[in-house]
């Protein structure tokens, strides 16, 4: 392996290590790409081909499930180095993306065949992503000092949320109310080109030497000892339950809006685009607080918000809440806000819960555990939704739909996730009431005093 570039650890006052700005541009380009195949546009295209809830669950679950490939892939990272390992995988998956863009144009094939082809190509796409992504988090973690990780995650999430908002809103305008196959093909082609552009900035991120590069990978990996590392074990338990709850939310809220709500594709995309605005709001709120207050209170706050959000979706499915923009837009903004809170806080907590040696394997185990749960979740929920609809298993006197049962089950999972969140180990974290005081009382006071007239 070529000698790694030396990356100095800058303190927050001096800025990030040289070259790390390329990671933010890479994240932005990548965020113009992945919401198309992993978000609402792909769900809507699959629905246009007649996909059932089970098929939608497979599509949504494929990406996180194949993260399991990080386990065998992690041992090969020292041989290639972080940068080359990620670059090779990202380049290969981009080539598959171009093949995905061609599928909507194959109108000589029937819809069932095109849907099967989408599933096959998405398998290879997510397989390549699963293998190459095992080097990304260890690479970035090795560059960023602990007291700057919250700030890095905030900027990274801001780039992702802004780019995601732009691309989903653009997709809504491009597809329109009744999108044709060439429209879907053009959207997928744009995503492939954005993925191609991201490779340039990925290569410009400075390399660092994997800390376990000096060890030969023939040494058996102590997976049991890694899993039993106390703080890490608690994070994994929370992550699994959270992922099992969260995994089905995005695809089946979109499916509900289309099938039960009867909304047009462009309106669905415009509404779902506002989740990225919620993510940007979360970045603004956590910019200084994540490092100052800790991850645990942020995650507890997010879990509480999520419980309220899914309760609202349950009310929508029961007809107790009106299906209007006044309801849907704030609901999606809140989803983006709470989702970004969990994502940033949990990643920062994981970064601080693992030792330096064996970092690739710790991250691989965490990613695999959480993503297997997230991948299995939409498949299980999709099968359940189809069975409940077709077999009429819900007693009529309960006055519930199959989606009502789905949302009720998610609420139960979120309550368990909140319980596990409160048991996490983070010595420097403050109680959630102090975080709420800063958000609701101290910060508004500081803002008011800034504009208060002075004599």
Query: 7-51: per-residue pLDDT in tens?
Result: 444 444 345 777 788 889 999 999 899 889 888 889 889 988 988
Q: What is the DSSP letter of 320?
A: S
Angle at 422 between CA 419 and CA 427, to 5 degrees: 160
Q: Of residues 67 and 217, which shows the higher confidence score? A: 67
Residue 118: closest CA among 219, 210, 50: 50
Give the pLDDT score at 92.
93
Question: Which range has the worst mean pLDDT, 10-19, 230-239, 257-266, 391-400?
Answer: 10-19
Question: Which range has the worst mean pLDDT, 135-149, 155-169, 190-204?
Answer: 135-149
Question: Average pLDDT for residues 301-321, to the nearest whole number?
Answer: 93
Average pLDDT, the chain: 82
Give the pLDDT score at 14.
44
H/E stretch holding 81 reads: none
H/E stretch holding 294 reads: none
* Cα torsion angle, 188, 48, 50, 245, sign: positive
Q: How confident is the model at residue 276 (pLDDT cuts 50, 70, 90)?
A: confident
Task: Give the tokens for residue 259.
Answer: 């099938």
Question: Average pLDDT for residues 279-308, to the nearest whole number?
Answer: 84
pLDDT digits (tens, 9 = 90+) for 400-455: 888 899 999 999 999 999 999 888 877 777 777 777 777 777 665 454 445 455 54
Task: Give the tokens for residue 177.
Answer: 């109310």
pLDDT digits (tens, 9 = 90+) for 44-85: 899 889 888 888 888 888 877 887 787 788 778 888 888 888
Q: Where are the beta strands (DSSP E) in 11-152?
A: none
Give the pLDDT score at 10.
44
End-to-end CA distance of the chain: 65
Q: Are 151 and 15 in contact (CB under 8 A)?
A: no
Segments making up each domain of the chain, as ranges: 21-213+222-449
Dist CA 210 CA 213 (whole Å) = 5
Q: How confident is the model at residue 365 (pLDDT cuts 50, 70, 90)?
A: confident
Give the pLDDT score at 9.
44
Look at residue 394 and tell me whether its pLDDT is greater than 70. Answer: yes
Dist CA 94 CA 198 (whole Å) = 10
Look at residue 205 and tell me whether its pLDDT is greater than 50. Answer: yes
Class assignment of domain 21-213+222-449? mainly alpha
Determine if the pTM surpasses 0.85: no
Look at residue 265 and tell me whether its pLDDT is greater than 80. Answer: yes
Q: How confident is the model at residue 133 (pLDDT cuts 50, 70, 90)?
A: confident
* Cα torsion angle, 150, 151, 156, 157, sign: positive
Exposed/middle/buried for residue 422 (C-beta within 10 Å: 0-12, 13-18, 19+): middle
Give the pLDDT score at 355.
66
Other residues' Cβ atoms within 10 Å of the Cβ of residue 92: 17
Dist CA 181 CA 185 (whole Å) = 6
Q: How confident is the model at residue 255 (pLDDT cuts 50, 70, 90)?
A: confident
- DSSP reduced 3-state for 261: coil
Give the pLDDT score at 11.
43
Question: Which range has the worst mean pLDDT, 260-264, 302-306, 334-338, 441-445?
Answer: 441-445
Percent of the chain with pLDDT over 90: 26
């Amino acid at each position: 392996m070529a000698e790694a570039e030396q990356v100095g650890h800058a303190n927050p006052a001096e800025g990030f290590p040289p070259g790390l700005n390329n990671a933010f541009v890479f994240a932005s380009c990548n965020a113009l790409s992945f919401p198309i195949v992993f978000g609402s546009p792909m769900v809507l295209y699959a629905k246009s081909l007649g996909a059932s809830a089970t098929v939608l669950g497979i599509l949504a679950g494929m990406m996180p499930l194949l993260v399991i490939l990080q386990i065998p892939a992690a041992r090969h990272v020292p041989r290639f180095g972080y940068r080359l390992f990620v670059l090779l995988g990202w380049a290969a998956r981009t080539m598959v993306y171009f093949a995905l863009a061609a599928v909507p144009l194959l109108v000589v094939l029937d819809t069932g065949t095109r849907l099967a082809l989408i599933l096959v190509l998405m398998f290879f796409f997510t397989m390549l992503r699963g293998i190459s992504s095992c080097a990304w988090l260890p690479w970035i973690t090795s560059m960023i000092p602990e007291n700057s990780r919250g700030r890095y995650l905030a900027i990274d999430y801001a780039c992702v949320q802004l780019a995601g908002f732009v691309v989903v809103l653009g997709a809504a305008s491009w597809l329109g109310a009744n999108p044709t196959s060439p429209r879907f093909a053009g959207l997928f082609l744009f995503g492939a080109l954005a993925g191609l552009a991201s490779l340039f900035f990925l290569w410009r991120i400075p390399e660092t030497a994997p800390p376990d590069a000096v060890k030969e990978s023939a040494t058996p990996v102590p997976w049991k000892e890694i899993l039993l590392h106390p703080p890490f074990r608690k994070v994994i338990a929370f992550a699994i339950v959270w992922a099992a709850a969260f995994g089905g939310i995005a695809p089946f809220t979109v499916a509900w809006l289309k099938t039960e709500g009867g909304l047009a594709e462009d309106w669905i995309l415009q509404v779902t685009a506002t989740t990225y605005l919620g993510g940007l709001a979360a970045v603004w709120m956590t910019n200084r607080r994540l490092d100052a207050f800790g991850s645990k209170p942020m995650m507890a706050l997010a879990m509480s918000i999520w419980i309220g959000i899914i309760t609202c979706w349950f009310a929508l499915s029961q007809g107790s809440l009106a299906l209007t923009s006044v309801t849907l837009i704030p609901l999606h903004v809140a989803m983006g806000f709470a989702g970004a809170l969990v994502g940033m806080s949990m990643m920062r907590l994981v970064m601080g819960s693992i030792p330096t040696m064996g970092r690739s394997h710790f991250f691989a185990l965490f990613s695999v555990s959480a993503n297997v749960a997230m991948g299995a979740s939409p498949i299980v929920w999709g099968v359940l939704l189809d069975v409940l609809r077709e077999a009429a298993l819900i007693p009529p006197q309960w006055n519930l739909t199959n989606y009502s049962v789905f949302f009720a089950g998610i609420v139960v999972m979120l309550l368990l996730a909140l319980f596990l969140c409160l048991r996490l180990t983070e010595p420097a974290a403050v109680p959630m009431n102090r975080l709420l005081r800063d958000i609701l009382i101290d910060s508004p006071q500081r803002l008011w005093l800034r504009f208060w007239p002075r004599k």
